[in-house]
Amino acid sequence: MMKKYFLLLDFDGTLTPIVSRPRLAKLSAGRKNVLTKLAKRKDLAVAIVSGRELDDLKRRVGLKDVIYIGNHGFQIEAGNRLVVHPIARKSQKLMERVYKELKAAMNIAGVIIENKKYTLSVHYRRVKPGETGRVKRIFQKVTRPYLANKKIKVTGGKKVFEVRPNVVWDKGKAVAWLLERYNKGNAIPVYIGDDTTDEDAFRYLNDKGETILVGRKKTLARRRLASIEAVYKLLKELLIDGRI
């Protein structure tokens, strides 16, 4: 059977709620059951797309028969094939160095710094409101020399700063790479996401498939869903009648 849809689903804020600490994110049994049924459908392909490190993402989703895109696209696992962007692989020691400098400088309660091997994240959701300015100043001070030497790129999301290798690569580029190689049947791509980093995928897919934002922020997506609950309602409807 030909694939009808190629589902590309963000994780945090789309399939599971945003939490105060990244390690607390959990996919409920009921929601995992919906995704399991989707992954088994012959008329669907399913990919989970995330800024999380690949192994962390796989642990939290825990499904077979899906494609995993981790680290904003720097890691892609499809079947038995694992692809790591070559520049990201070369940047691993650089990320470790930046991580250690940020850990040493960022002595602020509530800050969580994640070393994700090929990228790193500075979460400040739990920081007191009066301290967020200091978080930003310290982050900018540490990363400024690396930005000046064009060794890294810095992006932002929901209460998080991201440090990445200095290469033109993002969720949109990763989705393009994936679809070119794994969508030979021309299934309709459907991307659902909630964060700034998902806008790159929306931009790429807007004239090729369906793009859906979860939430109310300004977006390039063509459609909106109000909540995670609405995401699962849509996915359940897809299971029933086979249409988005």
Give the residue numbers annotated as catalytic, written as ranges.
10
Which residue in the block uniquely carries the two structure tokens 């692989």? 89
Which residues neighbour 43 within 8 Å (Cβ) at sequence distance 6 or greater? 1, 2, 3, 4, 5, 242
For the four alpha carbons of 163, 194, 9 and 111, in that order, the dihedral sign comes to positive
Which residues neighbour 125 within 8 Å (Cβ) at sequence distance 6 or greater? 18, 20, 110, 158, 159, 160
Q: How far is CA 94 from CA 97, 126, 158, 166, 178, in A?
A: 5, 27, 24, 11, 27
**Of 49, 66, 56, which is closest to residue 201 (Cα–Cα)?**
49
- If you ran DSSP here, which 8-state letter would residue 218 be given? -
Which residues neighbour 26 within 8 Å (Cβ) at sequence distance 6 or greater? 16, 60
CB neighbour class for 118 (10 Å; exposed up to 12, middle 13-18, buried from 19) = buried
